[in-house]
Structure 1
Amino acid sequence: MTVVVEVLDGGHTAVLERQLRAVFAEAFAEPPYEAGPRDVERAFRRFRSQVRRRGFRAAVAFDDGTAVGMAYSYPLSATTGWWDTLTEPVPEEMRREDGARTFGLFELAVRPAWRGRGVATALHRALVEGLDNRRVMLNSRPEASAAQAAYRAWGYRRVGAAVPWEGAAVHEVLVLEL
């Protein structure tokens, strides 16, 4: 079958929650994440509020009507706490947000059986294509070598490290200038 990527707004993405939960659970069950049911539940509690954010946008990859990959994000607000989770100081100019400057990429996941087929690249391309934002920012586990290699190949650069929530592992903070 041919994988098709669709770009969706929050309302259209919300109705896919069950399928996206399955993508998340499969994609993040492996090391270094080893996500279990509690991790999936925590991610989708956030998801339910994220899909309602201004400017929310998702790219979902479908194979014969079944979601096999996803990426979603929205512009960071002027009062975002994302920069406050950094473990290393960054210049104030980098931290400045205005509600339109930075598109925060919150999840990018592909089911294992569909990896190595360009699905992640297609999702990322569809998600950021045509954005008015000046940059995209994401957090990634440093030991997730395949993800790190993809982000670097797409032009992301490391700007720091963060602990994005209490109890989380250290993540690299990566930025892509658009």
Structure 2
Amino acid sequence: MTTAPALELRQFTTLDAVRGDLLDVYAEVRAPLLHLPNYAVTAFGERLDRHGEESGFVAVLAYAGQYPVGYAYGNRIEHGDRYWQRTSPTPANQYTQRPALAIKEIGVRPSWRKTGTARRIHDALLTATSDEAYVTLMVNEAAGDGKVHALYRSWGYEDIGHSQPSPASPLLTVMVRPTH
């Protein structure tokens, strides 16, 4: 890993000022997959708009000057949330009985990968929330030859099940770790 260049991390709780930047970064991050219905920019935009309206929405974007280079965003989820209902096997109560932070997306432009940028954005997102005991995310184990899954494990996440959030989505591995 090389040393991360100077970045400014900005936090947002609405999409008003940042939706365009999120779409731009997403399009570059997911470029190899954009031909698949679940990964199309329009499908992401629809999910993003829905997530932006959900409880506890928070996003952190990294900027080099005015150029957005990466992002992470998520929502607060409660006991009984559809996120947990779609997870199989049913997650242990320790994860679901209290509110948790569900990271919905993390993305860093290819030219900024292996600089520590993703971890800095991730950690800033966790710092932006204070009440959640756990953070959860989903990963496509096959993506990137398993490198992303291995990266999340190195950040302290453990596998707790699988989920297919929509018919167009691949089967994803649900991971969790303590927030702090």
TM-score by structure 2 length?
0.85
Contact 2:84 2:91 in 1 (8 A): no
Q: Work out whether 1:90 is the aligned partner of 2:90.
A: yes
Per-residue CA distance 1:65-99 (angstroms, 9 max, x = gap): 1111000011013442112323x32356257455x
Residue 140 (1) aligns with residue 139 (2): yes
Structure 1 residue 6, shift from structure 2 partner: 1.4
Q: Is the 8 A contact 1:68 1:110 kept in 2?
A: yes
Task: Determine whether 1:8 maps to 2:6.
Answer: no
State how 1:99-138 maps to structure 2 within 5 Å: 101-129=99-127, 131-138=130-137
Counterparts of 2:173 and 2:46, CA distance in 1: 23
Letter in 2 for 1:90: T
Query: What one-letter code is carried by the residue in structure 2 that aligns with 1:93?
Result: N
Q: Give ranges in structure 1 of 5+ residues lacking alignment.
A: none
Q: Percent identity?
A: 25
Contact preservation (8 Å) 1:80, 1:97: no
Structure 2: which 5+ runs fail to align? none
Give the structure 2 partner of residue 27 of structure 1. 29
Structure 1 residues 90-142: Cα deviation after superposition (integer angstroms, max 9, x where no partner): 356257455xx211100100011111111100000100025220101111000
Q: What is the RMSD computed on CA atoms of the aligned residues?
A: 2.0
Matched-pair contact (CA < 8 Å) for 2:57–2:76: yes
> Which TM-score applies when normalising by structure 1?
0.86
Summarize the Cα distance change of 1:157–1:80 in structure 2 as closer, same or farther, 3 Å threshold: same
Runs of 4+ in 1 over 4 A off after TM superposition: none
| Distance in 1, Cα, partners of 2:49 & 2:97 | 23
